[in-house]
């Protein structure tokens, strides 16, 4: 895998897939790096949402809120997903979270 990553030939889908594997393995900073790379090639609500999760899990709340807002702008997550996703626990007590939740469908 390291050879593929170093080759620079990973497309947005491969970066997103790798990022997700890193996210579930709790390697959140690495996951964020690959989500950022994927999003630079192909912006989409799903990857912005998971980027928000990665940021939230390692304490980058401001970045998490920006990514979460972008995911909402692209109409990705449902209100139920945002309310129940344990990856976003660090954001729940903030007024910003409550305001974003009001925008979700």
Q: State the average pLDDT for the chain.
A: 92
pLDDT of residue 1: 46
Tens of pLDDT, residues 23-39: 999 999 999 999 999 99
The DSSP code sequence of 74-96 is TT-S-HHHHHH-GGGGGGTTSHH
This model's pTM is above 0.85: yes
Q: For the chain, what's the residue count?
A: 105
The CATH topology of domain 2-103 is: 1.25.40
Count other C-beta atoms under 10 Å from residue 16's C-beta.
23
For residues 1 and 23, the model is more confident at 23
pLDDT-derived band at 2 (thresholds 50, 70, 90) equals very low
Q: Nearest-5° angle of CA 67, CA 13, CA 19?
A: 55
pLDDT of residue 8: 65
């Amino acid at each position: 895998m390291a050879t593929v990553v170093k080759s620079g030939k990973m497309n947005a889908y491969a970066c997103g897939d790798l990022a997700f594997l890193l996210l579930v393995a709790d390697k959140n900073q690495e996951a964020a790096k690959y989500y950022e790379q994927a999003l630079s090639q192909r912006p989409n609500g799903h990857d912005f949402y998971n980027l928000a999760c990665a940021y939230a899990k390692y304490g980058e709340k401001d970045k998490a809120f920006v990514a979460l807002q972008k995911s909402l702008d692209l109409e990705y997550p449902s209100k139920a997903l945002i309310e129940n996703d344990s990856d976003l626990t660090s954001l729940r007590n903030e007024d910003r979270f409550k305001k974003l939740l009001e925008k979700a469908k």
